[in-house]
Amino acid sequence: MASSQKAFHSRYHWVIAVVVFLQMIVFGGIINSYSIYLIPITEGLGISRGLYSVSMVAQTVTVMFSTMATTYLFRRIGYRKTVCGSLIVLGASMLLSAVCKEAYLYIFSKILFGIGYGACHTAGAAWIVKAWFHKHHGTVLGVVTMGTGLGGSLFSVFLTDVMEKLDWRWAHIVSAGLLVAVMLLMLVFLRDQPELIGLKPYGDDLEHAKEHRHKRKEKTWPGISAAQTRRHPAFWMMAGCVLVVCICVTGGSAVLVPHLQDKGYSAMEAAQFQSVYMFALAVTKLICGWVSEKIGGKALGAICVASAAAGLWLLTDLSSPAVTYITVIIFSVALTMTSVTVPLLCESVFGTETSAGVLGTILGISSLGSVFSSPITNICHDATGSYDPVFRISVAVTLVMLVVLFVIFRMFGKIEKEYRKSAA
């Protein structure tokens, strides 16, 4: 009995991974189900779709600030308390949405949701995975972030069924209950650091060879201080680069179905391609995490930006179903720039220790991409009658961002080289 408890305790890293994965499924299921609420809520509250969009913009702006605050909160009060508190705020937001009868209360509920959003998304997952895993860090982060896509696939069907049998208000109440349930799960099982229960990060314990630790030391560097990094031009170049790429990628992703219909596909065929796209995205997150361990975050980031350019170009010439399938798969690689790729890229460029302090800022700024992308893309469509022109412009823009990315690599590469030289 004692030996089995000891074995379970020594593998507690995987308990952490499973709990965070479940949290990402519930959270991802809710944030990826907005489209199913549009018609029921606008009709139920008697508001226009434009006002509904205003609530989403208000939420996104709040998300930017809440994401930027995650690093401070994690260091100040800890990951476990921050995330559990955020899940309570999210649950309260869903309950307020369920009972509100006025538009201004619904908008306030979305602002409340934005406050709880930051700690529960990529920034939080990257923080806790980094604390518990040194070996297979990228792969575990990829698996955990897969939960958002998986949750979206499951919840869109589940919540639609709830709305058909009851109504949209009950769908919000059920979502609030699930958020509270996963909060209790994290409260019971989650620990901020392995050292708190007498363990070391996975990969640093005595069961693993010294060779792994030596390789890790050679491949990674801690980075300069977060304050110095924020003052460096390359940091803001990185934030701008990620923001611009996210605008281009999320713009294409948001209009994928109507664009396919414009190209002659039926609504059902377009939905099938969308399904393949979402499945490919889930798998790609896992692959990107694994690939980063083999070739590094810098190479992964460059591949994702190049995939954005290639995918956007292919979207303008969907000559056959085979080409369309290839296009959505390539584009799924690009969309990881909105999730798993950014933490791995920042860790590789800015250093393993420094990235934790600056990641929230970059993710917060990049979250604005979803605010600008849809209006820009649709305004261009209204002006030209097609999405092709804006996609071609996006190709040129992403190629410029690829060049900027290599400039950033060179700028911070010099700092890393000087650090290694002084350390030697």
**Cβ neighbours for 319, distance < 8 A, ≥ 6 positions apart:** none
Nearest to 100, CA basis, from 175, 172, 179, 178: 172
Q: Given this model, what pLDDT does residue 209 score?
A: 46
Alpha-carbon distance of 176 to 278, in angstroms, equals: 25
Both tokens assigned to 354: 């420094």
In angstroms, how far is the first alpha carbon of the chain from the final one? 48
Torsions phi, psi for 31 (to 5 deg):
-75, -20
Beta bridge partners of 202: 133
What local confidence, expressed as pLDDT, does residue 362 receive?
87
Cβ contact 138:203 at 8 Å: no
pLDDT tens figures, 191-209 = 888 888 887 877 775 444 4
Residues 6+ apart with CB under 8 A from 271: 257
Domains of the chain: 12-192 (1.20.1250.20), 218-423 (1.20.1250.20)
The span from the CA of 66 to the CA of 222, in Å, is 25
Query: How distant, in Å, are the alpha carbons of 34, 111, 119, 152, 420 from that of 28?
Result: 11, 18, 13, 6, 40
Distance of CA 157 to the CA centre of its chain: 21
Please give the pLDDT value at position 214.
Answer: 46
Q: CA-to-CA distance for 110 and 72, rounded, in angstroms?
A: 23
Instruction: Give the model's pLDDT for residue 244.
Output: 94
pLDDT in the model for residue 10: 67
- Nearest CA to 276 out of 237, 331, 317 is that of 331
Determine the pLDDT at residue 218. Answer: 45
Amino acid at 12: Y
User: Which pLDDT score, from 0 to 100, does residue 29 have?
Assistant: 83
For the chain, residues with pLDDT lower than 70 are: 1-10, 35-36, 38-39, 49-50, 205-220, 423-424
So what's the pLDDT on residue 4? 52
Question: In the structure, how many helices (H) and strands (E) does the chain have?
Answer: 21, 0
